[in-house]
């Protein structure tokens, strides 16, 4: 009998892809910053890099742990 795929595997793939996109945007904005007049409040903390990294790490964890065997 074939084993069914876990929903956490697909959630991991989604988190991984969104995390890579968000972190990539953050690194792009780190290299090409917005003008001070149009930059959001606290943008110097680079939350997109932090959240993108966290989402990438969680997505990688879920994808590896719940991958089909």
Say if 2 falls within a structural domain: no
Q: Are 56 and 23 in contact (CB under 8 A)?
A: yes
Domain that holds residue 12: 7-31+42-65
User: Does residue 64 carry a pLDDT above 90?
Assistant: yes
What is the model's pLDDT at position 54?
98
Say if 22 falls within a structural domain: yes
- What's the sign of the alpha-carbon dihedral 52, 54, 58, 64? positive
Say if 36 falls within a structural domain: no
Overall domain count for the chain = 1
Mean pLDDT of the chain: 94
What is the model's pLDDT at position 25?
97
Say if 56 falls within a structural domain: yes
For range 28-48, the mean pLDDT = 93
Say if 37 falls within a structural domain: no
User: Does residue 1 carry a pLDDT above 70?
Assistant: no
């Amino acid at each position: 009998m074939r084993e069914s795929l876990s929903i956490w595997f697909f959630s991991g793939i989604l988190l991984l892809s969104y995390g890579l996109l968000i972190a990539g945007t953050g690194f792009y904005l780190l290299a090409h910053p917005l003008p001070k007049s149009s930059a959001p409040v606290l943008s110097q903390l680079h939350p997109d890099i932090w959240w993108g990294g966290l989402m990438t790490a969680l997505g990688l964890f879920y994808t590896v742990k719940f991958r089909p065997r």
